[in-house]
Amino acid sequence: MYKFLYIFSCITVFACCVVKEANSQNEVPKYTIDLDQPAESRWREIGHDFADLAPFLRTILKQKIPPAVFPLAEEVALYVDTLFDEPYPGELKGVAKATNLTLSEVILANIFYDLTAYCTSIVAQDEQDEQGDIFHARNLDYDNADYFRNLSIHVDFLRNGKLVYSGITFAGYIGILTGQKPLAFTVTLDERDKGYLWENIFQLLLAKTTPVGFFLRSLLANEESNFDYVIKQISQVEMIAPAYIIVGGVKKGEGAVVTRARIETLDVWKLNVSDGRWFLVETNYDHWKPPPSSDDRRHPAIKAMNQMGQKNVGVKGLFQVMSTKPVLNNSTVFTSIMSAKFPSIFTTWRRRCCA
């Protein structure tokens, strides 16, 4: 017990040091969502706080999404109550009302975010003791990074006044792409660029497939969820789009990257310290293939991890790795660092990379 408290105290001190070292970086604002409240009212405060940015979101959607997709989104809006599981229909309607966006625009945003993020995720095991604590870090990159920095928020989801799970998301987006269930698991999603947006809309309409961010949020909300359960569910579910899903647990060896196609799982890549695999780096390319030379964040991240060393795995070390160029780049929106075993260290900073 004393050893645990000592480690926890050290981690907390490291987290405070990182915040001070971040200089111009600042933490994303924090909100709470009361899951005991009606679905349509849960996001009201957030929607009102960010309503002035809604026109920019509308502009970005028109820039990034083919015109033919918008009528499909309007079809989805007509059947929102049957296409999405609870509580998502009510929450989508509530966001639309609070932001003065149309329901179809909110639905498009909640699919668009799933498909267009370029990210670097790292899950690693330390060597502080025989238990092998797991840490999880991610940089999320988007075009129009300044806009998305302003939308980034940390949300704690409460039930009966107690924290159930937390996530980093964007105002107007009700799914979770970066999340933590305390004392259970952490999860991030990296985009796998296979297919077209219109295919994903058809997948939603015809197959009633849940958007990935909604699916991950449902796993975070599930009382049964732990590392093994989450890996099994991720490996079996049919998805709206291909993806890399990175998961960290609370026990030694509980770290994995699941490479998904829409219908099937292509690969489950796990930590294995005995084979020298004390960390996994996933960007946006299959780990068994070389990344393109035009976007090679993988090898700089691997080099930085090896220079850091397993003994320095933790908040401070991982923050420095995630600050290495081009892992940190001009499109980086935020950096998150988590550990489900030590949930209080979950911190996310808005990032700006110097030119």
Nearest to 254 by CA among 143, 147, 126, 114: 126
Q: Which residues contact 95 (CB under 8 A, 6 or more apart)?
A: 43, 47, 101, 106, 172, 174
Q: HSE-up of 72 (CA within 13 Å, CB side)?
A: 17
Taking the CB of residue 196, how many other CB atoms lie within 10 A of it?
12
- What residues pair up with 328 in beta bridges, in sequence order? none
Of 301, 37, 33, 327, which Cα lies nearest the Cα of 174?
33
Report the SS3 class of residue 250: coil
In the set 17, 119, 353, 354, the catalytic residue is 119
Alpha helices (runs of H) in the chain, residue ranges in sequence order: 2-21, 44-49, 54-64, 69-78, 80-83, 88-99, 103-115, 145-151, 197-207, 212-221, 227-236, 298-308, 315-322
- Residue showing tokens 């499909």: 72
* Cβ-contact 117, 282 below 8 angstroms: no
Q: What does the DSSP 8-state code read for residue 10?
A: H
Residue 353: active-site member: no
Q: Name the residues annotated as catalytic.
A: 119
